[in-house]
Homo-oligomer: A and B are copies of this chain.
Amino acid sequence: MNTITGKFHKTNNFNEIVLERRSVKVYDSEVKISREEMTEILTEASRAPSAINMQPWRFLVIDSPEGKEKLAPLASFNQTQVLTSSAVIAVFYDANNMEYIDEIFGKAVEHGYMPQDIMNMQVQQAKSYYANLSESDLRDMNLIDSGIVSMQLMLVARAMDMILTQWQDMIRNGLLKSLVLIKTGSNRSC
């Protein structure tokens, strides 16, 4: 398990974080987010729940000028946001996430969260349940889990005094399932 230090949190006020979160459309492109801060954001967001804890989300962080130039044309209404953000976090889901079930449940056993016999029973149940799911059912579950982790991402970043604005233009591209934009520093709220 990753250790979460919370050392980058600027506020721990739940009401402020949840109820005063805003979408922001104009960014200060000079502001940088360190690798360490980004790792902390992604680690905390990953504490979100998912269907049988499969954590199907995969993150792609785009923070180089070249990466943002490539990405911008895919963001129909949000090209300026991509280009001026500190970083973009693209949220994908892994359609084959069930391949990790033994590893994920195995870790829970290793850390003493679950006895081995419960793991064996649950893994067997889950495998036969998933084997009967249609591709469309699986897709629905993965999309919901993508939304769940996106909300937690937005809140965790807000606790670190950053703003994430999530938008969905890129879904249509067929590549990105959900997209979140990060910024820090001065901003204009819309």
Q: Convert A19-56 into 0s and 1s, putting 1 for each residue whose CB lies closer than 8 angstroms to a CB of B.
A: 10101000000000000000000001001110100000
CA distance A182 to B56 in the complex (A): 24
Number of copies: 2
Indicate if A146 sits at the interface (CB-CB under 8 A).
Answer: yes
Pick from B15, B143, B152: contact of A18, CB under 8 Å: B152
CA distance A14 to B12 in the complex (A): 5
Q: Is the interface of A mostly helix, strand, loop or mixed?
A: helix
* Nearest CB of B to A16, in Å: 9
CA distance A168 to B126 in the complex (A): 13
Total interface residues on A, CB under 8 Å, equals 48
* Nearest CB of B to A24, in Å: 11
* Nearest CB of B to A15, in Å: 5
* Nearest CB of B to A108, in Å: 11
CA distance A46 to B98 in the complex (A): 31
Indicate if A124 sits at the interface (CB-CB under 8 A).
Answer: no
Task: Give the interface centre of A49, A149, A156 by most chain B CB atoms within 10 Å.
Answer: A49
Q: Is A177 touching B140 in the complex (CB atoms < 8 A)? A: yes
Q: Which residues of B contact A159 (CB under 8 A)?
A: 14-15, 18
Q: Is B4 touching A19 in the complex (CB atoms < 8 A)? A: yes
Indicate if A125 sits at the interface (CB-CB under 8 A).
Answer: yes
